[in-house]
């Protein structure tokens, strides 16, 4: 092989190798690179690396010129609070909230490692948390960076909060933050929190969340030989309850199928585990009926549901003591605000923040879909509990909904557009001079 050919091949190898590295590792201050760096920090449960995430976010906040404060209401579960002071600190402030943590991922079931933040040739950035919800955290910061560089000066103070543990209920994160003296001192008038992607060209916006209940139903009965037929066995009692639960689930689901209600407007009940039987070295003892059996259910209640009525149904129909049954119920957060009202933020003229937000989306070149109840649950409910108008919003149009799924991704073009949307939203909200809020 000639020296010239070797030299040419070396140049080609260097070019393609460098291009590939640049594609995955662009300028470290580029918004996409910052997004990738944040995604590469493993903040998935059960062992989220909050320390590295807080360090990274703090460095970005300082580079923008924001004030930083780290709060710790529970050891090793920090809340990062960033502040951009407004011209009139007596006006209620704006809070932009997002969570640091994410759900686990199964690497073997991903096309690319879930914490590599791999960007393919179509601009799709694959990573756990890319949609839920590390995107909005970086978009907040990049929108503020652009606004500050343009010499924009907000009328109202802007706060950005990064909280832990949202994916496991938020008890040690947003719940404690929202009930703290530090939060009181922020004088928050309006909150934006996470939303969901939209497969259409319209942005989705959420005025309420469903409240999660975790229900475990247990049945007891006398053990017996596998060949015997008798009443009130543990498995028989549990199966009867599951049939009752299934009929309730079907009745709620029928409302959705018939177009009478959205999926987020009904009570959903889904079985998530079954546990029974007597273990053996080869599996289970097949000729022995167990004395105990239990099943777990994920229950979600819209804010319009009557929680007391559902509790009576659980006690009387789903786990009645007359069939040797008990139950354990964990209620995942509030359903009413401090004045006893359902946790819903008005999306009409009664809420002056709504029109400001809506107009800012239009000014930014976007369209809003009909406001809806979020099918799942976010930290927004803790803000609404305090009576603070709170909307769930993630500017991801023309994007499949992939939160908690394998191969979660966000396209770079959608990410960049989100920054521009937040520039318009933050500018409008922080400039709102309404004296009543």
321: phi then psi, degrees, rounded to nearest 5: -65, -25
Whether omega for the bond prior to residue 133 falls within 30 degrees of 0, making it cis, is yes
Alpha-carbon distance of 227 to 218, in angstroms, equals 23
Question: For this structure, is 72 an active site residue?
Answer: no
Instruction: Give the active site residue among 133, 142, 166, 194.
Output: 166
Alpha-carbon distance of 219 to 293, in angstroms, equals 5
Write a three-state SS string for the chain.
Answer: CCHHHHHHHHHHHHHHHHHHHHHHCCCCCCHHHHHHHHHHCCCECCCCCHHHHHHHHHHHHHHHCCEEEEEEEECCEEEEEEEECCCCCCCCEEEEEEECCECCCCHHHCCCCCCCCEECCCCEEECCCCCCCHHHHHHHHHHHHHHHHCCCCCCCCEEEEEECCHHHCCCCCHHHHHCCHHHHCCCEEEEEECCCCCCCCCECEEEEECEEEEEEEEEECCCEECCCCCCCCHHHHHHHHHHHHHHHHHHHHHHHHCCCCCHHHCCEEEEEEEEECCEECCEECCCEECCEEEEEEEEEECCCCCHHHHHHHHHHHHCCHHHCEEEEEEECCCCECCCCCECCCCCCCCCHHHHHHHHHHHHCCCCECCCEEECCCCCHHHHHHCCCCEEEECCCCCCCCCCCCCCCEEEHHHHHHHHHHHHHHHHHHHHCCCCCC
Distance of CA 280 to the CA centre of its chain: 40
Alpha-carbon distance of 85 to 143, in angstroms, equals 16
Alpha-carbon distance of 9 to 187, in angstroms, equals 64
Helices 134-149 and 50-64: angle between axes, nearest 10 degrees: 20
Question: For this structure, is 101 an active site residue?
Answer: yes
Name the residues annotated as catalytic. Answer: 101, 166
């Amino acid at each position: 092989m000639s020296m010239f050919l070797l030299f040419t091949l070396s140049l080609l190898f260097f070019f393609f190798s460098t291009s590939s590295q640049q594609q995955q590792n662009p300028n470290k201050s580029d918004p996409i690179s910052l997004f990738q760096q944040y995604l590469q920090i493993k903040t998935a449960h059960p062992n989220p690396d909050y320390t590295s995430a807080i360090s990274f976010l703090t460095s970005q906040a300082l580079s923008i010129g924001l004030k930083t404060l780290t709060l710790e209401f529970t050891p090793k579960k920090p809340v990062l609070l960033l502040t951009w002071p407004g011209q009139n600190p007596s006006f209620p402030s704006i809070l932009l909230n997002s969570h640091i943590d994410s759900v686990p991922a199964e690497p073997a079931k991903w096309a690319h490692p879930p914490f590599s933040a791999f960007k393919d040739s179509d601009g799709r950035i694959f990573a756990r948390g890319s949609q839920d919800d590390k995107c909005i955290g970086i978009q907040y910061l990049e929108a503020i960076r652009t606004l500050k560089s343009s010499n924009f000066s907000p009328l109202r103070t802007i706060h950005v909060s990064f909280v832990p543990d949202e994916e496991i209920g938020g008890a040690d994160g947003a719940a404690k933050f929202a009930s703290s003296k530090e939060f009181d001192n922020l004088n928050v008038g309006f909150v934006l929190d996470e939303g969901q992607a939209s497969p259409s060209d319209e942005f989705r916006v959420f005025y309420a969340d469903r409240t999660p209940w975790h229900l475990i139903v247990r049945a007891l009965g006398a053990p017996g030989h596998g060949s015997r037929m008798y009443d009130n066995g543990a498995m028989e009692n549990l199966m009867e309850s599951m049939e009752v639960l299934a009929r309730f689930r079907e009745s709620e689901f029928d409302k959705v199928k018939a177009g009478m209600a959205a999926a987020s407007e009904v009570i959903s009940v889904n079985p998530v585990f079954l546990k029974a039987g007597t273990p053996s070295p080869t599996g289970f003892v097949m000729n022995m009926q167990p004395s105990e059996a239990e099943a777990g259910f994920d229950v979600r209640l819209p804010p319009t549901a009557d929680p007391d009525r559902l509790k009576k149904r659980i006690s009387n129909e789903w786990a009645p003591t007359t069939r040797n049954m008990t139950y354990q119920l964990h209620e995942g957060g509030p359903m009413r605000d401090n004045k006893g009202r359902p946790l819903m933020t008005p999306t009409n003229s009664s809420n002056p923040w709504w029109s400001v937000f809506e107009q800012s989306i239009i000014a930014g070149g976007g369209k809003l879909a009909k406001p809806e109840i979020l099918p799942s649950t976010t930290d927004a409910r803790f803000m609404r509990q305090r009576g603070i108008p709170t909307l769930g919003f993630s500017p991801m149009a023309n994007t499949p909904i992939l939160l908690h799924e394998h191969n979660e991704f966000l396209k770079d073009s959608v990410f960049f557009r989100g920054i521009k949307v937040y520039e318009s939203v933050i500018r409008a909200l922080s400039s709102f001079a309404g004296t009543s809020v």
